[in-house]
Amino acid sequence: MPELTYREAVRDALRTALERDDDVFMMGEDIAEMGGSMAVTQGLLDEFGPERVRNTPISEMAIVGAGIGAAIAGMRPVVEIMYEDFLTLSLEQIVNQAAKHRYMSGGQVTVPLTIRTQGGAGWSPGAQHAQQLEAWLVHIPGLKVVFPSTPEDVRGLLWTSIYDDNPVVFFEHRLLYPVKGDVPTELEPIPLGKARTMREGTDVTVIATGPLVHRSLEAAQRAADEEGLSVEVIDPRTLQPLDDDALVASVKKTNRVVVAHEAVERMGFGAEVAAVLQYKAFDYLDAPIERVGAKFAPLAFAPVMEQYVVPHAEDVLAAIKRTVGR
Amino acid sequence: MAKVEKGAHVTEETLRDFLHGMLLIRRFEEKVEERFRAGDLPGFLHVAIGQEAVAVGVCAAMQEGDVFASTHRAHGHTLARGTPPNAVMAELYGKTEGCSHGYGGSMHLYDLSRGNLGANAVVGGGLPAVTGAGLAFKLRQEPRVAVAFFGDGATNVGTFHESLNLAQLWKTKTVFVCENNHWAESTPGWQHSPVWDDMSKRALAYDMRSMKVDGQDVEAVYEASLEALEHARSGDGPVFLDVETKRMHGHYIGDPQVYRSKEDRDDAAEHDPIPRLRERLDLSDEEFAAFDEHAHELVDKALEFAQNGTDPQPEDALKNVYA
């Protein structure tokens, strides 16, 4: 099995789609010569040319909206919003247009559009370049929402997203781009709506997304080393549709749950997971569901303040200990 | 600005077709007003009475395979492009036989088979998609054009500027049809735009070809549209079509128009495009009455069809969320 970084894995899925399918093309700010602000699309311009790897003006509404129109006209555009903070500028097009065309047309219109974006704290970009806004999009019927945490998953899930006939908002995380991992030699599609068990365990289930998957794996190891606890870590990978069954099955085994994400805890994705589990697995829960997320503040510039707000492995470990202590 | 020469190639037969189309829209919308006021129709409705020549002239210039996106004032565009009045009326009644199967309503009329990518209830909301469709036609080297209808009010929305910029930059196969009726809902042009009396100046900012046309003259609209569509189709770039028109009624059905002077309403009525076309065709009372009777007949049939349509099942609301 070859090893790729998360960044290379995204690029590999894009390159493969561009290579195999004339209907796939890309649009976004600085994605061509510069190769994207995160160097994800480096080299694709040289390989596929400026018609298919299109630098756009700074026009988030038009980037998403032009993607919608091209998708309705039969193509499979992949558009990039440079930072998920800038999704705010394109939300009208995502929420009112992309998500609703199929519905409002009574099933006539198909919008096979993939909207890639990235974000995340940990490098002091300040309050407008580090937010995690994935929960907003999960609230909108008609959208699919994907947030992979490993190279294998980001490659397989991006491929599936490009070939899904619905609009997909695809979240990548800045700190994950250099993370390495094994991937299958041949690109294998990974179905949307299937969780992955990252580590098996019997005492506590940690349901984590994005960078918190890695921080939770670290916490799980420390819980084993320090407390002799057996912690299961599950990554839902897609937030919409959500693999309720996998989460419930794990809870039935461990009876204790921690949900963890980098986004603000209040109204975060973990709130939905907690609600689903208390309803579908109420009789199996031996303790209140613990939530781990960012504190309720924007992200400050000064590294000590930024790091105080976002959750770390220690926070997940503390939550694990709290839930077994009940 | 390009001058549009009156061509000799618009036959009397074509003009008669236009009259038929405009009268169908007029009688259809009058019926919609009547049924809405009677409490038959749910929702929020906007008629384009006075603007029929724009819908008919532009849509007649479109070819098979061309697409368009409309606005909250969409009945005329949809009918002019050939969606049967039965299907449009059934949609307004929320029936499964409607052109959006009851999921859309007046502000979301769709008919993909006739290139209608959807009417949009967000002002300016459809402009980026039309730009993107025009880009797809260019990338696929297809001889198709995407047309955007929007009002003068939409020229102040961010999507308008982002779309015109992108369309001209990439020379997408797009035509932007600005139906300039000088009203953004209740706000007059002079209160919402520094270039309200010459919207083509908006296109100049993007170095886009613009054409100005009298929207109450269906023949002129048709000829200008043919030229604009041909320009876009040939790959020479998008065109901004500045169409001066008149909204004879309020913003929505039931709008008391407290913001509008009697003079302005009278002026709109005096510029009704239908008597103007009748005059152009030099029709006798009997001839005109025959046209009108046919339109009424179609509308009555559409009403009967819609009223006898099938109500969706409540749980159908959960279908069509995803493909």
pLDDT tens profile B54-102? 999 999 999 999 999 999 999 999 999 999 999 999 999 999 999 999 9
> Computed from CA positions of residues B99, B239, A52, A21, in that sequence, does the dihedral angle turn out positive or negative?
positive
Determine if the peptide bond prior to A241 is cis (ω within 30°): yes
Using the beta-carbon criterion (under 8 Å), do B120 and A97 form an inter-chain contact? yes
H or E element in which residue A220 lies = helix A211-227
**What confidence score (pLDDT) does residue B6 get?**
52
A76: helix, strand or coil = strand
pLDDT digits (tens, 9 = 90+) for B148-186: 999 999 999 999 999 999 999 999 999 999 999 999 999
Residue in A with minimal Cα distance to B112: A108
Count Cβ–Cβ pairs < 8 Å, chain A vs chain B: 144
Chain A neighbors of B130, CB-CB under 8 A: 69
Residue B7 pLDDT level (bands cut at 50, 70, 90): low
Q: Is A134 one of the catalytic residues?
A: no
Q: With b meaning 16 or more CB within 10 Å and e meaning fewer, what string describes A278-304?
A: eeebeeebeeebbbbbbeeeebbeeee
Q: Within 10 A of B270 (CB to CB), how many other CB atoms are there?
A: 12
Chain B neighbors of A92, CB-CB under 8 A: 122, 125, 159
| Cα B148 from Cα B176, distance rounded (Å) | 5
Q: Nearest CB to A105: which of B118, B128, B135?
A: B118
Domain with CATH 3.40.50.970 in chain A: 3-182
Q: The domain B12-303 is classified under which CATH number: 1.10.510.10, 1.10.1040.10, 3.40.50.970, 1.10.645.10?
A: 3.40.50.970
Using the beta-carbon criterion (under 8 Å), do A57 and B139 form an inter-chain contact? no
For helices B127-139 and A60-72, the axis angle rounded to 10 degrees is 60
Residue in B with minimal Cα distance to A110: B323
Roughly how many angstroms between the first and final C-alpha of chain A, as a whole number? 43
Using the beta-carbon criterion (under 8 Å), do A105 and B104 form an inter-chain contact? yes
CATH 3.30.930.10 fits A196-324, yes or no: no
**What confidence score (pLDDT) does residue B8 get?**
54
Work out the mean pLDDT of chain B and round it to a whole number: 96
Q: Are B92 and B100 in contact (CB under 8 A)?
A: no
pLDDT for residue B198 is more than 80:
yes
Q: Nearest CB to A104: which of B108, B132, B134?
A: B108
Interface of B with A (CB under 8 A): 67, 98, 100-104, 108, 110-113, 117-118, 120, 122, 125-137, 139-140, 146, 158-159, 162-163, 165-166, 169-170, 319-323
Strand partners, A197: A234
pLDDT digits (tens, 9 = 90+) for B92-138: 999 999 999 999 999 999 999 999 999 999 999 999 999 999 999 99
pLDDT digits (tens, 9 = 90+) for A234-263: 999 999 999 999 999 999 999 999 999 999
Domain with CATH 3.40.50.920 in chain A: 196-324
Using the beta-carbon criterion (under 8 Å), do B122 and A73 form an inter-chain contact? no
Q: What is the largest CA-CA distance in chain B?
A: 55
| Cα B77 from Cα B107, distance rounded (Å) | 12
| pTM across the whole model | 0.96
User: How much is the average pLDDT of A75-97?
Assistant: 98
Residue in A with minimal Cα distance to B113: A108
Burial of B296 (0-12, 13-18, 19+ CB in 10 A): middle
Residue B19 pLDDT level (bands cut at 50, 70, 90): very high
pLDDT digits (tens, 9 = 90+) for A215-230: 999 999 999 999 999 9
CA-based nearest residue to B203, from B139, B134, B152:
B152
**What confidence score (pLDDT) does residue A326 get?**
85
Q: Within 10 A of A241 (CB to CB), how many other CB atoms are there?
A: 15
What are the two backbone dihedrals, phi and then psi, of residue A163, each rounded to the nearest 5 degrees? -95, 5
Tokens of A93: 């097009």
Burial of B284 (0-12, 13-18, 19+ CB in 10 A): exposed
Chain B neighbors of A67, CB-CB under 8 A: 132
**What confidence score (pLDDT) does residue A217 get?**
98
Q: Within 10 A of A60 (CB to CB), how many other CB atoms are there?
A: 25
Q: Are B150 and B71 in contact (CB under 8 A)?
A: yes
Q: Check A8, A29, A80, A129 and give the catalytic one.
A: A129
Using the beta-carbon criterion (under 8 Å), do A109 and B162 form an inter-chain contact? no
Chain A neighbors of B128, CB-CB under 8 A: 61-62, 64-66, 68-69, 93, 97
Q: Are A14 and A26 in contact (CB under 8 A)?
A: yes
Residue in B with minimal Cα distance to A75: B136
Cα distance from B247 to chain A (closest Cα, Å)? Answer: 27
Among the ranges given (A14-18, A261-265, A322-326, B4-8), the one the predictor scored with the smallest mean pLDDT: B4-8
CA distances from B290 to A102, B56, B227 (A): 40, 19, 32
| Cα B101 from Cα B52, distance rounded (Å) | 25
Residue B4 pLDDT level (bands cut at 50, 70, 90): very low
What are the two backbone dihedrals, phi and then psi, of residue A91, each rounded to the nearest 5 degrees? -60, -35
User: How much is the average pLDDT of B253-269?
Assistant: 94
Cα distance from A196 to chain B (closest Cα, Å)? Answer: 23
Residue B1 pLDDT level (bands cut at 50, 70, 90): very low
User: How much is the average pLDDT of A88-99?
Assistant: 98
Give, as one character, the DSSP assignment of residue A300: P
Q: Check A60, A80, A152, A172 and give the catalytic one.
A: A60
| Cα A322 from Cα B14, distance rounded (Å) | 80
Q: Is A129 one of the catalytic residues?
A: yes
Q: Are B244 and B57 in contact (CB under 8 A)?
A: no
Work out the mean pLDDT of chain A and round it to a whole number: 98
CATH 3.20.20.140 fits A3-182, yes or no: no
| Cα B118 from Cα A104, distance rounded (Å) | 8
| Cα B135 from Cα B67, distance rounded (Å) | 12
